[in-house]
Amino acid sequence: MNGFRNRLIRTADATAPLLFTIALFLIWEVVCQVFKVDPFILPAPSRIIEAMVRYWQPLLRHSFVTLWTTMVGFGLAVVFGVALGLLVGWSRTIYRSLYPVMIGFNTIPKVAVVPILVIWFGIGEVPAIITAFLISFFPVVVNVATGLATMEPELEDVLRALGARKIDIMLKVGIPRTLPYLYGSLKVAITLAFVGTVVSETIAANAGLGYLMVQAGSNFQMSLVFAGLIALAIEGIAMYAVFAVIERKSTRWAFRSSMSAGA
Amino acid sequence: MTPFVNIYRVTLTYRGSPGSAGVLALQDNSLQVERGEFAAVVGPSGCGKSTLMKLVTGLVRPDAGRISVDGKEVTGPVKIVGMAFQNPNMLPWRTVLDNVMLPLEIVQPHRSRLRKEKKAYREKAEALLATVGLGGFGDRYPWQLSGGMQQRVSLCRALIHEPELLMLDEPFGALDAFTREELWCVLRDLWHKLGFTVILVTHDLREATFLADSVHVMSARPGRIVESRKIDLPRPRDIAVTYEPAFTGIVHELRGKIAEVRQQA
């Protein structure tokens, strides 16, 4: 009896996210039908799916543009973010001198930068890539630097007393212990990168989901706007899942709480 | 002949922010430890015991006075020491064996030999783990071990490169009473077997009395050794010795001295 109950609970646990999502869309559908919501204000999911089927080709094409510009911007953010994070975590002086600038930089709304980027690089993918880079860069830097800065001073003492050079300490301890922080930040950074790309696409682009949604909006095709939103959400969730899996696989030791001691 | 570890009239001030006076951690402090001796330093908290560790290992330079280890003046990191702290400081992404072998990746000449003679070094590390009762645990991860077991691994890591001097900073402070006494015996046996010199910093007077040849009492800030006492209880000592009147007498005496020192502070 107990075994059956446990299995039931486990199945419920595994399917709950899916069930909840379906329920959400069902409620949405029912509300739209029952209250006769104007499809121009809020199209029902059935209409959105209809639009997705009808416009699957442009949706796919624009989704792909958004995906690759986001990935390029995100890739740059990871490369430069890790490099700067290591630099900042390496020395207190660099940390102190760079920090105010980085904070100030991060505080600037990236939307405000897009017009400047357009003047510099023209309309197209480049501003989108740079916006994605700018917005997702900061969490990577901060997390890498934090991982290095929170190294146990005693452990550093042990190694230094053995004659370890700074580079030894970094390679043996600093960088490995920073990895969970880095992977954690990648999940945040990738979702932010999508925000950056779409913000730029809505302002200055001739392709991408942001562009598609603006165009559809000005043609009063609300169901297509929402179809674009759904496509964005799917891309975001998929990339998040990819990095969550990478995180789990490569820094298993950091999830030790889920494993029992002495197992 | 100079002692193995010679701390001679050392003064150290930690400078705070510019303008503030700084903290006088140690003043005119002297301590001598012979080769192969087990020395314990006890004192009230915040008396600069840990500072003493950093000075001897060359992590911090004194403002005045001289420190020498094995006849050589300490001017930088001293490679013939091993260190262990209250926190085992294991690297969770490495197995127990790889944790123990970490110093070998740093200290010469092991560092350059390690790759070629990996197998021999692994066997050596496994043998060391076996002597502390952790034979066969090499492939586990630190987080799969109990606190006491992790502290044993930490001792192994401190000893793997065969240091002549072992510096211990309250290594058993975070353990429960039974585990602590168990580890006293582990340390005692290691010391008998390998014959290194030990400086043990602790606030546990029973621990100091049970393990050490000499106990040094330190005053509160600024830290100074105010009394040194030989412990001439016969060796090898069994844990039962801690219930004998001679033992309790020494502990009482040390306690009295500490209380006196704390009053002055």
For residue range B118-159, what is the model confidence (pLDDT) as tens digits? 888 899 999 999 888 888 898 999 988 998 899 999 999 999
Residues B190-207: tens digit of each pLDDT: 999 889 999 999 989 999
Q: Two tokens at B103?
A: 């110093």
User: Residues A190, A139: contact at Cβ < 8 Å?
Assistant: no
Taking residues A1-16, what's their average pLDDT? Answer: 80
Quick one: which H or E segment has residue B186? helix B177-194
Residues of A in Cβ contact (< 8 Å) with B102: 159, 172
Confidence category of residue A256, pLDDT binned at 50, 70, 90: low
Q: Between these two residues, A23 and B74, which has the higher pLDDT value? A: A23
Taking residues A237-256, what's their average pLDDT? Answer: 84
Nearest to B59 among A160, A261, A262 (CB): A160
CA distance A207 to A66: 8
Residues of A in Cβ contact (< 8 Å) with B58: 161
Cβ distance A256 to B54 less than 8 Å, yes or no, reads no
Cβ distance A155 to B143 less than 8 Å, yes or no, reads no
- How big is the A-B interface in CB pairs under 8 Å? 72
Q: What pLDDT does residue A223 have?
A: 92
CA distance B25 to B221: 6
Taking residues A57-70, what's their average pLDDT? Answer: 95
The residue among A140, A131, A37 whose CA lies nearest residue A83 is A140
Confidence category of residue A240, pLDDT binned at 50, 70, 90: very high
Which residues, listed in sequence order, are joined to residue B12 by a DSSP beta bridge? B26
Count of other CB atoms within 10 angstroms of residue A29: 16
Rounded to a whole number of angstroms, the distance between the first and last alpha carbons of chain B is: 36
Q: Give the rounded distance of the alpha carbon of A246 from its chain centre.
A: 14
Q: Give the rounded distance of the alpha carbon of B108 from its chain centre.
A: 22
Eight-class DSSP state of B22? -
CA pseudo-torsion sign A152, A153, A156, A157: negative
Confidence category of residue A1, pLDDT binned at 50, 70, 90: low
> Which residues on chain A place their C-beta less than 8 Å from a C-beta of chain B?
152, 154-155, 157-164, 168, 172-173, 176-177, 179, 251, 253-254, 256, 259, 261-263
Cβ distance A161 to B81 less than 8 Å, yes or no, reads yes
Q: What pLDDT does residue A190 have?
A: 93
Taking residues B12-34, what's their average pLDDT? Answer: 76
Cβ distance B161 to A159 less than 8 Å, yes or no, reads no
Coil, strand or helix at A19: helix
Quick one: which H or E segment has residue A215? helix A209-218
Q: What pLDDT does residue B110 have?
A: 82
CA distance B252 to B256: 6
CATH no. for B1-80+164-265: 3.40.50.300
Name the residue ranges covered by the structural domains of chain A: 45-252
Residues of A in Cβ contact (< 8 Å) with B57: 157, 161
Residues of B in Cβ contact (< 8 Å) with A263: 144
Cβ distance B161 to A162 less than 8 Å, yes or no, reads yes
> Which residues on chain B place their C-beta less than 8 Å from a C-beta of chain A?
54, 57-59, 76-79, 81, 83, 85, 87, 89, 91-93, 102-103, 105-108, 141, 143-146, 157-158, 161
The fold of the A45-252 domain, in CATH, is MetI-like fold (1.10.3720)
Q: What pLDDT does residue B1 have?
A: 65
Confidence category of residue A262, pLDDT binned at 50, 70, 90: very low
Q: What pLDDT does residue B18 have?
A: 59
Cβ distance B106 to A159 less than 8 Å, yes or no, reads yes
Instruction: Among B74, B75, B95, B106, pick the best mutation site for testing chain A contact (most A Cβ within 10 A).
Output: B106
Nearest CA in chain A to B77: A161
At residue A139, φ and ψ (nearest 5 deg) are -60, -35
Eight-class DSSP state of B57? T
Cβ distance B93 to A177 less than 8 Å, yes or no, reads yes
CA distance A225 to A106: 29
Residues of B in Cβ contact (< 8 Å) with A172: 91, 102, 105-106
Q: Please give the mean pLDDT across all residues of chain A.
A: 88
Taking residues A124-149, what's their average pLDDT? Answer: 91
Confidence category of residue B222, pLDDT binned at 50, 70, 90: confident
Nearest to A253 among B58, B92, B105 (CB): B92
Taking residues A86-100, what's their average pLDDT? Answer: 84
ipTM above 0.85, yes or no: no
Quote the percentage of chain B above a pLDDT of 70: 96
Residues B43-91: tens digit of each pLDDT: 777 777 778 888 888 888 888 888 888 888 888 887 788 888 888 888 8
Q: What pLDDT does residue A124 have?
A: 85
Cβ distance A253 to B81 less than 8 Å, yes or no, reads no
Quote the minimal CA–CA distance from B184 to chain A in Å.
22
Quote the minimal CA–CA distance from A202 to chain B in Å.
44
Confidence category of residue A70, pLDDT binned at 50, 70, 90: very high
Write out the residue limits of the CATH 3.40.50.300 domain(s) in chain B: 1-80+164-265
Residues of A in Cβ contact (< 8 Å) with B161: 162
Q: Is the pLDDT of residue A263 over 60?
A: no
| One-letter amino acid for residue A90 of the chain | W
Nearest to B77 among A155, A161, A179 (CB): A161
Q: Say whether pTM exceeds 0.80.
A: no
CA distance A88 to B109: 32
Cβ distance B59 to A157 less than 8 Å, yes or no, reads yes
Q: What pLDDT does residue B31 have?
A: 87
CA distance A232 to A36: 27
| One-letter amino acid for residue A38 of the chain | D
Quick one: which H or E segment has residue B9? strand B5-14
User: Residues A144, A89: contact at Cβ < 8 Å?
Assistant: yes
Question: How does strand B5-14 pair with strand B64-69?
Answer: antiparallel
Nearest CA in chain A to B169: A154
Three state DSSP letters for B83-142: EEECCCCCCCCCCHHHHHCHHHHCCCCHHHHCCCCHHHHHHHHHHHHHHCCCCCCCCCCH
Q: What pLDDT does residue A213 have?
A: 94
Q: Is the pLDDT of residue B98 over 90?
A: yes
Residues of B in Cβ contact (< 8 Å) with A255: none
